[in-house]
Amino acid sequence: MTDEARVMSRVALPEETQVERQLRPQRLDEYVGQRAAVESLRVSVEAARRRGEPLDHVLLSGPPGLGKTTLATIMANEMQANIITTAGPSLERGADLMGILTNLAEKDVLFIDEIHRLPRVVEELLYPAMEDFSVNFVMDKGLNARTIRIPLRPFTMVGATTRPGMLSSPLRERFGIFHHLDFYSGEDLTAIINRSASILGAPIAPGGAEAIARRARGTPRIANRLLRRVRDYAQVKADGTVTPEVAVRALDQEGVDEIGLDRLDRRFLTAIIENYKGGPVGLDAIAATINDEAETLAEVVEPFLLKIGYVVRSPTGRRATAAAYAGLVLLVAGHFSGKVPWLGRLPGDIHIQRGSWTFYFPLATCLIVSVVLTLLFSLFRR
């Protein structure tokens, strides 16, 4: 993985497990954003506590890094229960799940990440486990085969998925609570960064968190990672404080662009624009063009581009919007602005700074770059 791919990776990097645990909110009150889901879960937890019952089974969906594991941990804490964590692909055989289920204590939370990747045989074991708190175990084979019903202690199942559509309906129907987590607003990400900075003991000046939040792709995991990179940069190249200027310099150096798009996002967009004249084009065709898996694109790339309005989905396929063209031109202009002295500083380029608040839009540069690019494209297309 290149360094740029690592810095914007949506999945946790191997060395991040420890720090993610340290930064993970432990109670509902500490969990920033996702207000609808949090308020509804608060009611469910309180009701279950009053009845002295385990919480109903919960299904959480949403792109990676948005806080599904965190919410599962919080629910276990709020219910004063243990959490047992596993993932769909690691439960290969029925016996793997049986072992876990029979060892659960009352009200324990069983968290299954990537639940849409559960093998069929394991999934079928889950149905009675979730519904009646029992599992059916088949002993012997052929004529001697008999089924033994093993009772389980009442527990809460929390499933997380990036692809809710891939869950079979019998499994989906066994969850009583369903929440979809969406990308975070700049305001929420700023709050998360400020919280993490105080846990890590990183001094942060006004505007520093906002500057990082703008490039974090709406994702807390990326926000926390960028914060740690900026903190290192501030310690080595400045006086240790994360100011907006230091954040911008550090993230520019890391290759994180102003919109927070990574290389895969940009390849996805340029494939639609360059190879399919802006679309509409099917996901499989884009996947083949950029040599990636359609599933990865649907799970981790497309949701953010849809969210920021760079791509729209229609019955005939995906289309790049005018905002995507403008955004890419802005990125190209931004990329060259350090190398070509006049770029980004032409009369007509807007740059307003008021205290911690900055607005930068190189209007004239964008116009010139887009005219030049259009001319080049039409020349090469001939």
What residues are labeled active site? 68-69, 113, 162, 221
243 forms part of the interface with ligand ADP (CB under 6 A) = no
Looking at residues 157 to 186 of the shown chain, list those that interact with ligand ADP (rule: CB under 6 A): 160
33 counts as binding ligand ADP under rule CB under 6 A: yes
One character per residue 181-220, x = contact with ligand ADP (rule: CB under 6 A): -----------x---------------------------x
* 155 φ, ψ (degrees, to nearest 5): -135, 175
CB of 147 to ligand ADP, least distance (A): 36
Candidate ranges 62-70, 164-172, 251-259, 289-297; the one touching ligand ADP (CB under 6 A): 62-70
Task: Give bridge partners of residue 359 from the DSSP assignment.
Answer: 352
Sequence-separated (6 or more) residues with CB below 8 Å from residue 135: 98, 101, 102, 125, 128, 129, 149, 150, 152
Residues 222-241 that bind ligand ADP (CB under 6 A): 224
Nearer to ligand ADP, 202 or 330 (CB): 202
Round to whole Å and give the CA distance between 203 and 197: 7
- In angstroms, the first-to-last Cα distance of the chain is 36
Candidate list 67, 244, 279, 334; residue touching ligand ADP; CB under 6 A: 67
Closest CB to ligand ADP among 153 and 163?
A: 163
Interatomic CA distance for residues 228 and 42, integer angstroms: 31
Residue 221 near ligand ADP by CB under 6 A: yes
Q: Which residues contact 363 (CB under 8 A, 6 or more apart)?
A: 348, 349, 350
Is 64 a binding residue for ligand ADP by CB under 6 A? The answer is yes
- What mask, x for binding ligand ADP by CB under 6 A, covers residues 104 to 143? ----------------------------------------
Give whichever of 172 and 180 is closer to ligand ADP, judged by the CB atom: 180
Q: How many whole angstroms from its chain centre is CA 56?
A: 25
Task: Give the tokens for residue 110.
Answer: 């069983």
- Answer for which of 7, 8, 32, 300 binds ligand ADP (CB under 6 A) is 32
Nearest to 345 by CA among 366, 371, 327: 366
Q: Which residue do the tokens 């930064």 mark? A: 23
The answer to whether 253 and 233 are in contact (CB under 8 A) is: yes
Total residues at interface with ligand ADP (CB under 6 A)? 20
Q: How far from chain centre, in Å, is Cα 157?
A: 21
- Applying CB under 6 A, among 8, 9, 58, 70 the residue interacting with ligand ADP is 70
- Structure tokens given for 161: 């998925």
- Binding residues for ligand ADP, per CB under 6 A? 20, 23-25, 31-34, 64-70, 160, 192, 220-221, 224
